[in-house]
Each structure stands twice: as C-alpha cells, then as structure tokens.
C-alpha cells in the first residue's frame, strides 16, 4: 500500500491508495520526488521526527520526516538537515548510506509549508537494545565485546577524521546488519569540529545540549561536548552489553558516589578490558583516550593478551547477531581444524531429530568405536549467521535458518544446497517442523509467528498475539499444537491448523528463551531469563513444578528420547541434568568458559553435546557426568546442534555463517 505523509491527511494509511499516485483523501502526491513510495509508518517516537519504510523500486529505504510542530524552530530544522549532510560525506558499511540529495522538502497539496524529509539506506537488523532483549538480556563475552568495540572505534575513527563527533552513542543508536556489521545511526545530533565550535567550548557560546540518561558525560550535560564525549558514551554502552544492566540501574550505579560497580556482573572479562572501559568513562574528558587511534591501539593491545583463537582479525570480519558473534573464518583458523579423539565409546541410536524444539522417531542403533571425529564438510551458502538447523527423519535433508532471511534445504549425501525454501523480510531465528512434514513455523525479528507450507514455501498464516519478540516455537508430535515462547514472559498454545490461540501460560518473571515438548506429549518444559525452568501440563496448562538451581538465564533445553532426562543450558556457563519424573537435579556439568546455548542428547540418552559462546562443542558422558572431549573448528558462537537419525553424524550451525558436518562414526 502507499502511505500519505501529508500531516493533515485524514486517512494516510488507506489500502485503497495502493496503486494510486495521488492520495484519494487529500490529493497529495504519493510518489515522493517521482521515485519514493512510502509503505508504512515504523515509528513516531524517533527524535524530532517520524520514521517510515519506503521503497525506491524494489529497494527498501528509511524515510525520516520532521514532526510538523518543529517547522518553525530553525535550530531543529538545522539539526535535521545536518544528519543528511553528515551521512552523505561518510562512506562506510557501519554508517547508513545517504545520497547527496538525501534531504528534500515535500509540499502537500494546497500547503505552503514544507515537510522536511531525509531518505536513507534501511539497515536490515535490530538495534542493540532490541538485540539484547531478543537474546534474553545475556551479557556478551569478552571476545564479542572486543570485536564490537573494534568495529565501533573504526566507525568513529572515520567520523572524527571527517571533523565530526556523534554526541549520542547508546544501544538504541547502534544497529546490527544481518552480515554482522554494526552500524552507527542517528547523526542528527552530530557536531562539526570548526573554529566556531572551539570558540563555543572556550566560553564564547554554548554547544547544543544533547542528553541520554546514563550515556551522556558530565561535560555534555553542561552543554560542552567534546570528541572524547563519544568515548564516554561508548564505554557506558559496553557496560550495558557486558552486564545487561542499564547504566542507571542501581544494581551497578551508586548515586551517592556517582560510581559504576559493574565488573562482577560480567562474564569473566579480563582486567585489561575492564580497566580500558573505565578509562573511556573517566569523569573528565582529559582522562579518557585522546583520539580514536589510541582507542584502536588499546583494543589491539588487549587482544594480544587473549588466547590465539580469540585474537581479532581484520576490520572486514563481522560480529554477532541472534546471540552469537559472526566472524569470517580466516585461513589460519581453517588450518587449525583438527581431528579430535574421543575418550570412550559413543553410541548412536534411535532417531533424535529435533523438530522445532522436540525429538521424535525411533531407529536402529549403530554403535561406533573410539576413533577420530572429523569435520566431513563445511557448508557455506548463507550470507549471515546460521541460527538453527534440523535433519529430516529419513536423514537425507538438512534444513537451516539464517539471519540472511532465508531457510535453505541441503542434501546430506552430496552436501549440496537443494534449494532456498523461504525468503523472508526479517532474519529467521528459529523454526519448527510438523512431524507430518507439511508445515514449518518460523520466528525472528518481531512479535509474530509465520506458518509456511513446507513443500512450496508459501506463507499460510501469521500469528500475532505476543507483545514482544518470539524466541522459540515447538510443534507437538501429532502436528496438532504449536507452542511459542516470548520475551513478553508468556507461552502461548495455538491450534496449528487454524492459527487459533488456545491458551496463554503465565508464570515466568522474565523472558521465555526456550521450550520443549516431551515425547509422550504430556509435559512442556520452558526456560527463562528469570533463571528458572518450569514444567507444565501441556493439556491443561497447569504449572506443575519450577526448577531452580541456575544462577543466570536459562537458554536452552533438551529431553532424552525416553523422557527420563531433562537437560538445561545456562548463561552461568553450566549444564544441569534433571530427572524429569521426580523433577530433581541429578548433576551439574561444568567446563564451559562462557554461556552455553544449544544442547542435544544422543538417541540412546548416554551422550550430550553442547555449544555456546566459546566457539567449541563439548561432549559429555551422561552416565559418568564427565566431559569426554572438545571439538574445535568454528570461528564464532555455536547456535545450533543436531544429530543424524543413524547417530553417526553431528551437525553444527554457527555465527561464522557456516554449517559443519562432523563424522561421529564410520
């Protein structure tokens, strides 16, 4: 449809305007500058203006429009125009692209007062505040922090070299492309370093005050921002990313002393990085780094103190989205891919195909002896981090979803992509497949669940009842029920065939990160950012039991094929094993050095595989509760794990944009 941006239009979003060039209600032009078609309003709470989605042909754009109430404020108009002027001078993948004529004025019909507009590139990802919520507010690890800090320092290096500084760095003003590249946005408050500026700072005037609570340094609060003000805001941003605590949260902020006590909320970051972040946040600008080159030099120095596999690569290497760092695999990492010897027999067995979040089917048991575990194949074809994957019951097909907004199907015998099943307008974080192989449900990027025809890839239905991001979905083994977990702290049960909402389960006090259905379809288990696991009666929706023991967010769940064991993975770096019948904790598996996300239990229930932020896959003996071995090969976070029906192959998905196939037995 075409959206009318005339502030006085009585019905700007009339669907009847879809094919019109002139608005049928106010007579204003709908094709701006003869080429931009406005499709929908995205936000009316963005700074001084409204934000719309527009298209130039088939290319999506962002249109920012100044609120009419500011039309007579010359200072606001100047700041608005300045954003287009600044962005048109900066050419970098970390900065939204704006053409030299990106600012323009639009005159509605019979109006002598212009609508001030900026047209710019649309960034295909969330801002970092949204991204943190999507991940259940997990603190990021040091490796990820260093990569992100390096990317942002490189962006600021360009901005400062062009004699500008940003003045409003905060999580909401940093976006993440599907490629993993961070993008600094909202340059409406950027300030040019001119002689006039230095005179103002010197006392002959004042610089316009821009303030964002918790991120704005003392000198800027007084109206005297300097380039080093950007470093203060950058440091505060990384305190948030490393702790998941707002800079004004009294868990870390002591108002009587104006101190941030943030370090013990992080996930084992080095003293060197913590000290440097504190230096960036120094109360006085003179005590902060002098310039962006000093920031880049310090990042490189800290990186050299990390283990070799955590060293930063060149600036073109991407970083994370959907809970994981995306990094282009360098040649030296490829060369280090090794064959790993297991310490004991592993048993393959009954089909353990994870569908959505469950496991179904029974197959033949295939034992294999102690031998080398090797990477058989690395599948490259996605253009973004690979978020989730699954194997068809016959073991012939692999299905994968990615931040590149696609779901691909691969032939596991030839290791070749069969086809791209789905192309979506948003990144696909998770999916569930019905056991009758007719439907696939996908989530990612918004509050909706989309149901697709698994054979044709055609969209069937969109479920819209959640009020925040949907993190996970599962489909019952009889293909009748769909269950969804959301950051709105609720679980919803749906009729898969009709899309009708059956009931809403409430009880968690934090985002629901994951859920899984037992094989007998009697129980539902859910994992939450409130550090608990809840066991529900799937038929009645009754909360049966709350499992406590983790000291941080619970990220992921797995149930053994016989419904006897429940395993939970957490941001506290541990995996817990529970007796599903008694709801009692059996063991805690310790060994990960950072948060754990995907886990999968072997078909015979004797082995567990786990992955997470440290780029490794760990293998655990569920009989002895001991770690067997560690698999290395990915250069970034492990997002998903699954095992082939014959138990001989493990498949892993990573934020390094690859899928790896591991041979567990010949």
Q: Give pLDDT tens digits for 8-20.
A: 999 998 988 888 8
**Rounded Cα–Cα distance for residues 613 and 639 (Å):** 9
For residues 291 and 345, state if they share a domain. Answer: no
Candidates 420, 423, 453; CA nearest to 436 is 453
For residues 104 and 142, state if they share a domain. Answer: no
Give the pLDDT score at 47. Answer: 57
Give the pLDDT score at 17. Answer: 87
Read off φ and ψ for residue 495, nearest 5 degrees.
-80, 115
Q: Is residue 404 part of a domain?
A: yes
Q: Is residue 628 part of a domain?
A: yes
Candidates 376, 393, 389; CA nearest to 421 is 389
Q: Is residue 650 part of a domain?
A: yes
Q: Would you give the DSSP letter of residue 446?
A: S
pLDDT of residue 351 exceeding 60? no
Give the pLDDT score at 458. Answer: 93
For residues 631 and 504, state if they share a domain. Answer: yes
For residues 173 and 226, state if they share a domain. Answer: yes
For residues 136 and 117, state if they share a domain. Answer: no
For residues 283 and 139, state if they share a domain. Answer: yes
Q: Give pLDDT tens digits for 215-263.
A: 888 888 777 788 899 999 999 999 999 998 887 777 887 777 778 889 8
Q: Is residue 632 part of a domain?
A: yes
State how many domains the chain has: 3
Q: Is 649 left (phi over 0), alpha (psi -120 to 50) or beta?
A: beta
Give the pLDDT score at 166. Answer: 80
Q: Is residue 317 part of a domain?
A: no
**CB 89, CB 83: distance < 8 Å:** no
Give the pLDDT score at 558. Answer: 97
The CATH number assigned to the domain holding 153 equals 1.10.510.10
Give the pLDDT score at 367. Answer: 36
Q: Give pLDDT tens digits for 522-556.
A: 999 999 989 999 999 999 999 999 999 999 889 99
| Residue where a domain terminates, one of 121, 144, 162 | 121
Residue with tokens 């972040």: 277
Across the strands, what pairs with 87?
none
Distance, first Cα to last Cα, the chain: 56
The CATH number assigned to the domain holding 68 equals 3.30.200.20
* β-pair type (103-106, 59-66): unpaired
**Rounded Cα–Cα distance for residues 119 and 86 (Å):** 13
| Residue where a domain terminates, one of 261, 281, 310 | 310
Better pLDDT: 342 or 544: 544
Structural domain for 26, as ranges: 15-121
| Residue where a domain terminates, one of 83, 106, 121 | 121
- Identify the weakest region by mean pLDDT among 87-96, 159-168, 357-366: 357-366
Residue 298 half-sphere exposure toward CB, CA atoms < 13 A:
20
For residues 275 and 339, state if they share a domain. Answer: no
Per DSSP (E only), the strands in 238-280 are 253-254, 259-260
For residues 361 and 435, state if they share a domain. Answer: yes
Q: Is residue 448 part of a domain?
A: yes
Q: Give pLDDT tens digits for 249-308.
A: 778 877 777 788 898 888 778 999 999 999 999 999 999 999 999 999 999 999 887 544
Better pLDDT: 91 or 153: 153
Q: What pTM was computed for the model?
A: 0.61
Confidence of residue 585 (pLDDT cuts 50, 70, 90): very high
pLDDT of residue 584 exceeding 70? yes
**Which helix (H) or strand (E) element contains residue 145?**
helix 142-161
Q: Is residue 3 part of a domain?
A: no
For residues 110 and 132, state if they share a domain. Answer: no
**Rounded Cα–Cα distance for residues 301 and 337 (Å):** 26
pLDDT of residue 620 exceeding 70? yes
**CB 660, CB 652: distance < 8 Å:** yes
Better pLDDT: 534 or 123: 534
Contacts of 191 (CB under 8 A, 6+ apart): 164, 165, 167, 197, 207, 208, 225
For residues 340 and 383, state if they share a domain. Answer: yes
**How high does pLDDT run on average in the chain?**
82
Torsion of CA 395, 400, 406, 411, to 10 degrees: -30
For residues 576 and 644, state if they share a domain. Answer: yes
For residues 101 and 148, state if they share a domain. Answer: no
Q: Is residue 142 part of a domain?
A: yes
**CB 632, CB 615: distance < 8 Å:** yes
Q: pLDDT > 70: what percent of the chain?
A: 85
The CATH number assigned to the domain holding 603 equals 2.130.10.10
């Amino acid at each position: 449809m075409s959206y009318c941006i005339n502030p006085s239009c009585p019905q700007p979003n009339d669907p009847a305007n879809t094919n019109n060039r002139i608005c049928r209600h106010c007579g204003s032009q709908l094709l701006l500058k003869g080429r931009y078609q406005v499709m929908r309003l995205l936000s009316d709470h963005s700074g001084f203006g409204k934000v719309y989605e527009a298209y130039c042909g088939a290319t999506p754009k962002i249109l920012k429009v100044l609120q009419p109430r500011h039309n007579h404020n010359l200072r606001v108009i100047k700041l608005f125009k300045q954003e287009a002027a600044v962005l048109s001078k900066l050419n970098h993948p970390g900065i939204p692209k704006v053409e030299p004529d990106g600012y323009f004025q639009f005159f509605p019909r019979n109006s002598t007062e212009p609508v001030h507009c900026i047209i710019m590139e649309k960034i295909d990802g969330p801002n970092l505040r949204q991204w943190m919520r999507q991940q259940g507010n997990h603190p990021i690890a040091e490796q990820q922090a260093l990569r992100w800090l390096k990317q942002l320092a490189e962006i600021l290096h360009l901005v400062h070299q062009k004699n500008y500084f940003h003045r409003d760095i905060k999580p909401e003003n940093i976006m993440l492309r599907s490629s993993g590249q961070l993008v600094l946005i909202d340059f409406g408050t950027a300030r040019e370093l001119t002689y006039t500026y230095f005179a103002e700072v010197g006392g002959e005037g004042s610089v316009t005050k821009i303030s964002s609570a918790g991120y704005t340094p003392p000198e800027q609060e007084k109206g005297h921002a300097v380039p080093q003000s950007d470093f203060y805001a950058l440091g505060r941003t990384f305190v948030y990313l490393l702790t998941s605590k707002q800079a004004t949260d009294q868990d870390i902020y002591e108002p009587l002393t104006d101190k941030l006590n943030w370090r013990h909320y992080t996930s084992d970051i080095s003293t060197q990085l913590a000290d440097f972040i504190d230096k960036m946040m120094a109360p006085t600008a003179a005590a902060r780094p002098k310039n962006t080159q000093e920031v880049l030099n310090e990042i490189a120095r800290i990186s050299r103190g990390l283990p070799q596999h955590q060293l930063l690569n060149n600036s073109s290497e991407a970083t994370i989205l959907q809970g994981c760092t995306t990094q282009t695999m360098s040649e030296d990492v490829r060369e280090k891919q090794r064959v790993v010897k297991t310490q004991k027999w592993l048993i393959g067995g009954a089909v353990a195909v994870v569908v959505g979040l469950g496991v179904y089917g029974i197959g033949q048991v295939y034992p294999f002896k102690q031998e080398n575990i090797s990477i058989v194949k690395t599948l490259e074809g996605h253009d973004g981090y690979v978020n989730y994957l699954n194997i068809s019951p016959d073991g012939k097909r692999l299905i994968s979803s990615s931040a590149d907004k696609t779901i691909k199907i691969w032939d596991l015998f030839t290791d070749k992509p069969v086809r791209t099943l789905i192309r979506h307008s948003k990144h696909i974080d998770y999916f569930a497949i019905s056991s009758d192989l007719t439907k696939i449900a996908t989530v990612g990027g918004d509050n909706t669940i989309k149901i697709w025809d698994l054979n044709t890839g055609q969209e069937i239905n969109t479920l819209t009842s959640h009020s925040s991001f949907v993190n996970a979905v599962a489909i019952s083994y009889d293909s009748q029920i769909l269950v969804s977990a959301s950051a709105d702290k609720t679980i919803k049960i749906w009729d898969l065939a009709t899309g009708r909402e059956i009931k809403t389960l409430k009880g968690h006090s934090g985002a629901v990160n994951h859920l899984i259905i037992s094989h007998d379809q009697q129980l539902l288990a859910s994992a939450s950012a409130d550090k608990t696991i809840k066991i529900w009666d799937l038929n009645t929706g009754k909360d049966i039991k709350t499992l406590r023991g983790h000291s941080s967010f619970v990220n992921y769940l797995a149930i053994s094929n016989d419904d006897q064991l429940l395993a939970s993975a957490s941001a506290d770096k541990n995996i817990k094993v529970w007796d599903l019948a008694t709801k009692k904790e059996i063991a805690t598996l310790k060994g990960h050095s950072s948060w754990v996300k995907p886990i999968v239990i072997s078909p015979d229930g004797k082995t567990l595989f786990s992955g997470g932020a440290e780029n490794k896959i760990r293998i655990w003996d569920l009989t002895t509760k001991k770690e067997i071995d560690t698999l290395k090969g990915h250069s970034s976070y492990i997002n998903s794990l699954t095992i082939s029906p014959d138990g001989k192959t493990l498949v892993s998905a990573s934020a390094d944009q690859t899928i790896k196939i591991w041979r567990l037995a010949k």
